[in-house]
Amino acid sequence: MLRLFAISFVLLSCIVSASGEVYHWPMDAKPALTSTFGEYRGGRLHAAVDLKTWGKEGYPVTAVANGYVWRVRTSPWGYGRVVYVKLNNGLFALWAHLSGFSERIEKYVREEQDRHGTYSVNLFFRPDQLPVKRGEVVGFSGSTGIGVPHLHFELRNAKQHPINPLLHGLEVKDTVPPTLQAIGLAPLDAYARVNGQHDPKAFALAWHGRKKRFTHPDTVAVWGRIGVGFKVFDRADASELTNRLAPYQMRLLVDGEEVFKKTLSEFGYDVTHHGELAFDYFMNRRGLGRFHSLYRKFGNQLPFYGNYEIDDGVLFAGKADSDDRTVLLPGVHEVQVVAEDVEGNRSMGTLFVRVVQEPEIEALKVVWSDQAVQVVAQVFGARRVLFEQSEDDGKTWAAVGKWRDVRGQVVRHTMSRASLFRMRIQGARGLEAFQTFGVEREDRAQMIGESLYYPTFAVVRLKVNRVLAVAPTVVLKGDQKPLVVRQTGLRTYEVVVAFDEEKGRDISVEVEAEEVRQSLYLTQQRVTRKEGGEVFSDDGSVRVRFEKNGVYQTLFGRVVADSAAADERMVGPAFRIMPEDVALERAELAFVYPKDYAEVDKLGIYEWNDKKGWVFVDMGRDSVLGAVTGEVKHFGLFAMLIDNVPPQITKVIPADGAAVTVRQPKVVASVKDASSGIWREEDIVMRIDGRALIVEYDPEEDLIFATPRKPLSSGMHQFEVVVRDICGNEARSRSSFRVK
């Protein structure tokens, strides 16, 4: 601990306020950053800069200017121990995750804790109670609340909006430009594609010494509405080798013209959860990592974007939806991303995209005669065509003639008869589509269909057990026009089905392949921002309810049982709720429990996490529906589990029968719960001789500890620990120790 040693670095660094007032450095430690303003923090935004404490605790934390202590809080979670100072210039400064307070502040905190009998307190002060001067110690750095040792330093304006401290002259030496890692491209609707795919793609950037920028070697094919993401980190000299920071400003340019800008300067706590919109949730859920969104999404109310509005920054590749959007005509375009830190260090990255629509074969008709095969096909986006034949069921192919140019949208061709043919068409940049066709066979084909769900459309994939004579025909029930079927392999096909709220809850997809007919039902339960909505399972046992403004934009949901998930604690099956790659404002998830279930009070909703297993969500109640409820902000795999196992209490100090030499010994216990968890301070009790102590809980270390306020007498003392989890399961430990 370094509380007794105030190491002054005032001469090395200072803060200059917007009015020019010189601020004192907020901690007596060597200036270095571990994180910056606006970084992603699990769905919310970081409201401060974090200062490095070099793996230690106890550095004196000092007031940056004259003012008074406005507020003090203590909590096992979040900010831990935190001091708020209102400065004389009207701004607020706060220091969080402290290991302790100055003596003046500590006195008030202890009195309030004793009065309420709890560790957590929330105190507000008058200007005359705790005035502070510039450079005065208000606390000591630590790691309470969350994280490793560091100091969270935050500035707020008069509206209590966090503002970027680095814009107020926090002079940490920084000569290092940002590092650009990748540009991400995300298709935003059913008709958009990146390199022919519906899923987002990331394109790694590498430093090009001659061009003095980051580049990607290939040109990427795009079509439709495309969102651009940007993976980047910054460095600062003192922590360059250990910490990755967020840049201050990011820009998107297309063909040299700025089309979007994001500046991390200020935001309100009422919109901090819009961090899921400031970063690309789609890309992250698909395993690509954390990308800054360089376009403004529906519902995003963060003040980072100046005059840029909803949908600004979106690339409308080959599709002129609006005169004031970024329309990219067919051809090659340069997409540039620029990142800059507060000190003006700047980096640029470049990715070339080619706007090109994939060629499509929309209708293919074949007429067989004794000696020849006549083909008529309707194609789009094709420049040339080639026919091939196979005598070994598609294992090898031989060209029938040469590639020839396509004139118009209709291809006609006659060939000598063979058992199996393939028609290949090529569009710009070599993009291809193909369809196979051949002689009808006597053995009956078998077909399996599966559906992949996106927010506003589904992709139906068809797999057959043998090569078909012609591609399947797919129509929506009630419609006459067949959907475009894209062949993806010798025995596989796919078709895109856009959801349509006019068609009711389910869409019937009718598939015909030779003599095989199959109906697939796509569930499309609509939820809108204006009206809300409900998504539920077929049996009604799981429901997701949305109030108005519960979603950022319209989506179509689906709830299906997942038989692969199994746990002996599960009550009923697990359910997968889709689409999983969309962030929500809020939704209420409800699991109906069995009628007359004996242990309803032990039931809770859990979400599957690949790293942690089943993670507790909530255990609210809807007595009318007879359900367990909880609030969720994204979809995934959920289940209702019973928790009737109490927490574990281990490593009790002093141990039973031990002797201690101090009159106010620190008592410690390790507590852990494997299911619902320990969420409330009132569920943690430590007593010595029946008298409750003020208990501090460190959830990251699974430790509880306390120190008696008054010295204990010599002799034997009874020590009791009681811990309850959120479902009310209780564990007790009783022991005795002797004070010498």
The whole-angstrom distance between residue 423's C-alpha and the CA centroid of its chain comes to 43
Number of residues assigned to the chain: 740
486 and 360 in contact (C-beta within 8 Å)? yes
- The counts of H helices and E strands in the chain are 3, 62
685 inside domain: yes
Alpha carbon 273 to chain centroid distance?
11
Residue 7 covered by a domain: no
Of the chain, the percentage scoring pLDDT greater than 90 comes to 84
Cβ-based neighbour number of residue 108 at 10 Å:
17
Which residues have a Cβ under 8 Å from the Cβ of 379 and sit 6 or more positions away?
A: 359, 360, 361, 362, 385, 406, 409, 410, 411, 425
Whether pLDDT at 740 is above 90: yes
Q: Is residue 6 part of a domain?
A: no
Is-contact 465 446, C-beta < 8 A?
yes
CA distance 484 to 362: 6
Cα separation, 279 vs 259, whole angstroms: 18
pLDDT at 429 over 90: no
Please give the Cα distance from 696 to 681 (Å, whole number). Answer: 9
Tell me how far apart the alpha carbons of residues 585 and 304 are, in angstroms, rounded to a whole number: 19
- The tally of domains found in the chain comes to 6
Q: Are residues 680 and 701 in the same domain?
A: yes
Could you give the CA distance from residue 71 to residue 82 in angstroms, rounded to a whole number?
8
The arrangement of strands across the sheet holding 137-140 comes to 60-62, 137-140, 100-101
CA dihedral 470, 476, 480, 481 (to 10 degrees): -60
pLDDT of amino acid 419: 86
Q: How far apart are CA 727 and CA 725, in angstroms?
A: 5
d(CA 590, CA 608): 16
Q: Are 415 and 400 in contact (CB under 8 A)?
A: yes
Smallest CA-to-CA distance from 135 within 23, 279, 274 is with 23
What per-residue confidence (pLDDT) applies to 304?
97
* Residue 112 φ/ψ region, left for φ over 0, alpha for ψ in the -120 to 50 degree band, beta for the rest: alpha
Give the pLDDT confidence score for residue 590 in this predicted structure. Answer: 98
Nearest partner of 8 among 110, 135, 124, judged by Cα: 135
Q: Are residues 61 and 127 in the same domain?
A: yes
Query: Which residue range is the domain that position 661 belongs to?
Result: 648-739
Contacts with 448 (C-beta within 8 Å, 6 or more apart), sequence order? 462, 463, 464
Distances in Å between the alpha carbon of 53 and those of 27, 40, 129, 141? 9, 21, 30, 8
Nearest of 735, 675, 672, 722 to residue 698 by alpha carbon: 672
- In the three-class reduction of DSSP (H, G, I as helix; E, B as strand; rest coil), residue 272 is classed as helix
Co-location of 241 and 320 in the same domain: yes
Residues 704 and 575 in one domain: no
Query: Could you tell me how far CA 347 lies from the centroid of its own chain?
Result: 26
Instruction: Read off the tokens for 264.
Output: 């991390």
CATH code of the domain covering residue 106:
2.70.70.10
- Contact predicate 553/529, CB 8 Å: yes
Q: What is the CATH number of the domain that holds 486?
A: 2.60.40
Residue that terminates a domain, selected from 336, 355, 374: 355
215, part of any domain: yes
Q: Can you tell me which residue has the tokens 């038989």? A: 563
Per-residue pLDDT band for 21 (boundaries 50, 70, 90) equals low
With 80 as the cut, is the pLDDT of residue 17 above it?
Answer: no
Q: What residues does 326 pair with on adjacent strands?
A: 315
Are 585 and 717 part of one and the same domain? no
Residue at which a domain ends, from 469, 504, 523 = 523
> What's the pTM?
0.91
Task: Please choose, from the candidates 553, 537, 721, the residue with its C-alpha nearest in 3D space to the C-alpha of residue 640.
Answer: 537
**211: in domain:** yes
Structure tokens at 687: 């007593």
- pLDDT tens per residue across span 697-723: 999 999 999 999 999 999 999 999 999
CATH of the domain at 598: 2.60.220.30
pLDDT of amino acid 106: 97
Kindly state the tokens that stand for 45. Answer: 């935004």
Residue 285 is inside which H or E element, if any? helix 281-285
**Mean pLDDT across the chain, nearest whole number?**
92
Residue 506: its pLDDT value, please? 83
Could you give the CA distance from residue 161 to residue 157 in angstroms, rounded to a whole number? 6
Q: In three state form, how does the secondary structure of 169-204 look?
A: CCCCCCCCCCEEEEEEEEECCCCCEECCECCCEEEE
Amino acid 323: pLDDT? 61
Q: Clarify whether residues 619 and 672 are in a common domain.
A: no
Burial (0-12, 13-18, 19+ Cβ within 10 Å), 102: buried
Which secondary structure element, helix H or strand E, spans residue 107, and what is its range? helix 103-116
Q: Considering the domain boundaries, does residue 2 fall inside one?
A: no
Bond from prior residue into 654 cis (ω within 30 degrees of 0)? yes
pLDDT in tens, 600-655: 999 999 999 999 999 999 999 999 999 999 999 999 999 999 999 999 999 999 99
Task: Provide the CA 575 distance to its chain's centre, in angstroms.
Answer: 20
Looking at the structure, tell me whether residues 666 and 570 fall in a common domain.
no
**Residue 105: closest CA among 86, 84, 119:** 84
d(CA 373, CA 371): 7
Between CA 630 and CA 619 the distance in angstroms is: 6
DSSP, collapsed to helix, strand or coil, labels residue 478 as coil
Neighbours of 158 (CB within 10 A): 10
* More confident of the two residues 424 and 440: 424
CA distance 630 to 635: 12
For 109, list phi and psi in degrees, rounded to 5: -65, -45
Q: How much of the chain is in helix, strand and coil states, percent to nearest 5?
A: 5, 50, 45
Sign of CA dihedral 684, 687, 692, 698: negative
The pLDDT of residue 352? 98
Residue 9, in any domain of the structure: no
Which domain-ending residue is among 312, 334, 355?
355
Residues 418 and 531 in one domain: no
In a domain, residue 118? The reply is yes
Same domain membership, residue 423 and residue 473? no
**Backbone dihedral angles phi then psi of residue 284, each to the nearest 5 degrees:** -65, -45
Beta-bridge mates of residue 604? 641
* Local structure of residue 674 (DSSP, 8 states): S
165 pLDDT more than 80: yes
Dihedral sign of CA atoms 405, 409, 413, 417 in order = positive
In whole angstroms, give the CA distance from residue 93 to residue 487. Answer: 61
CA distance 551 to 530: 9
* CA–CA gap between residue 27 and residue 5 (Å, rounded): 12
- Residue 695, class by beta-carbon neighbours within 10 Å (0-12 exposed, 13-18 middle, 19+ buried)? buried
Per-residue pLDDT reduced to its tens digit, 206-247? 999 999 999 999 999 999 999 999 999 999 999 988 999 999
Do both 547 and 417 map to the same domain?
A: no
- CA–CA distance, 247 with 264 (Å, rounded to integer): 8
Written as six digits, the tokens of 114 are 């004793």
CATH of the domain at 679: 2.60.40.1220
The per-residue pLDDT for range 527-586, each reduced to its tens digit, is 999 999 999 999 999 999 999 999 999 999 999 999 888 899 999 999 999 999 999 999
Task: Report the pLDDT value the prediction gives residue 2, as an integer from 0 to 100.
Answer: 39
Q: How many CB atoms lie within 10 A of CB 539?
A: 11
State the Cα–Cα distance between residues 444 and 716, nearest whole angstrom.
86
Residues 365 and 391 in one domain: yes
Least confident range from 20-24, 201-205, 214-218: namely: 20-24
Residues 661 and 602 in one domain: no
